[in-house]
Amino acid sequence: MTLDQIYYFTEIAKTGSMSQVARNLHISQPNISMTIGVLEKELGYTLFNRMPKGVELTRQGAEFLHHAELIISNIEEMRNIRQTNKDSSIDFSVSAQFSSACVYPLIEMLHLFEKEKKTFSIRQNPFFDVVEDVKSGHSNLGILNISAEQENFIKILLAKNGLEFVLITDTQMSIGLAEGHPLYDCPQIALSDLKAYPLVLVEHSVKDYLSVETIKQLETESFKTKIFVQDMLLFYQLLDTVHGVTFVAISKNHDITHIFDKYHMNLKLIPLAEPVIIKMGYIKQKSRPLNFAEQHFVDSLYHFLND
């Protein structure tokens, strides 16, 4: 298999015509037809159905096209590699429902691109803003948390916008409360035990992070007192002063209690007696493979949450 074969194939798939590609590339049509025939013989399956007025992809051809486009895109990335100099720069942006998830990968990227001129942007946005950022190209990647029950629905929604969701890890919803809370020493907590206390949530998490199914599972509507805030300092103060409770999604292999200690937040995470599972992953434009910086960010986030 040669790069010429792959390139000819993708051009034919775009135009639906071998003769048109032959004219565009100033190559004889028999040469194009022979090249594709040799490729099909090597692969052991037919890439195109020959029609009276052109060609159409077979099922195997459509799958082959996906891989062929990735190969061509990667070749373009390799051609664009340049030596680091004072004029080179790295621009990377990510949009996330909770920007705290991006801290570790960002630090890793700062080390990796230490000598390059760089601009990194981390945006904390609601669900649909994250989707729009990635769809429009405003952000390279989006970090999402979705309920297990709505995973298929959201994947369909993303596909309609030319995006795809890639799972990084499963997270489990836990209860967050401050030291001194009456439930502080409980090994686990049932939802029925929480209803006597105010539920404190960051406002955008209610509308966009907690799906309809998750809200139902967590019985948020049955809390007598609910307090929605936007300021994180106020959020922590309420948990501390009014015996508030909150919901926190945490990876099974990711302990964040050291972060609480570092910033002198006397908070504790306690598992729910009946687990509620959240899927955490990233979204990207489906038609474009990850570049080097994006892949490094994703790998760092994966290892941070799973190792």
Where do the H-state alpha helices sit in 100-225? 103-112, 127-136, 151-160, 191-194, 203-204, 212-218
Res 159: pLDDT: 92
Res 238: pLDDT: 87
Answer yes or no: same fold for 3-79 and 169-277. no
Does 3.40.190.290 match the CATH number of domain 169-277? yes
Q: pLDDT digits over 191-200, tens only?
A: 899 988 999 8
Residue 303 has pLDDT above 80, yes or no: yes
CA nearest 288: which of 131, 118, 72, 109?
72
Residue 259 has pLDDT above 60, yes or no: no
Angle, nearest 10°, between helix axes 29-43 and 18-25? 120
Res 264: pLDDT: 62
Res 170: pLDDT: 85
CA nearest 282: which of 255, 257, 300, 256?
300
DSSP 102: G
Q: pLDDT digits over 195-216, tens only?
A: 889 998 876 554 445 555 566 6
Q: Which residues have C-beta within 8 Å of that of residue 108, sequence separation ≥ 6?
A: 296, 297, 300
Angle, nearest 10°, between helix axes 292-306 and 103-112? 130
Instruction: Report the C-alpha gap between 304 and 307 in whole angstroms.
Output: 6
CA-to-CA dists, residue 218 to 89, 131, 137, 195, 214, angstroms: 45, 25, 34, 11, 6
Name residue, tokens 């100033």: 26
DSSP 99: G
CA nearest 99: which of 134, 124, 127, 133?
124
Q: What average pLDDT does range 172-198 have in this prediction?
A: 90
Query: Tokens standing for 121?
Result: 């942007």
Q: What is the DSSP string of 17-28?
A: -HHHHHHHHT--
Q: Cα 70–75–81 angle (5° rounding)?
A: 130
Q: Which CATH class is domain 3-79?
A: mainly alpha
Query: Tokens standing for 39?
Result: 């490729």
Instruction: Report the C-alpha gap between 184 and 294 in whole angstroms.
Output: 40
At the topology level of CATH, where does 89-168+280-306 sit?
D-Maltodextrin-Binding Protein; domain 2 (3.40.190)
Q: pLDDT digits over 39-86, tens only?
A: 999 999 999 998 888 889 998 988 998 888 888 888 777 766 654 444
Q: Which residues have C-beta within 8 Å of that of residue 40, sequence separation ≥ 6?
A: 46, 47
Every domain of the chain and the residues it spans: 3-79, 89-168+280-306, 169-277
Residue 87 has pLDDT above 60, yes or no: no
Percent of the chain whose predicted confidence (pLDDT) is above 90: 20
85 backbone dihedrals φ, ψ, rounded to 5°: -150, 180
276 backbone dihedrals φ, ψ, rounded to 5°: -120, 120
Instruction: Report the C-alpha gap between 281 and 14 in whole angstroms.
Output: 31
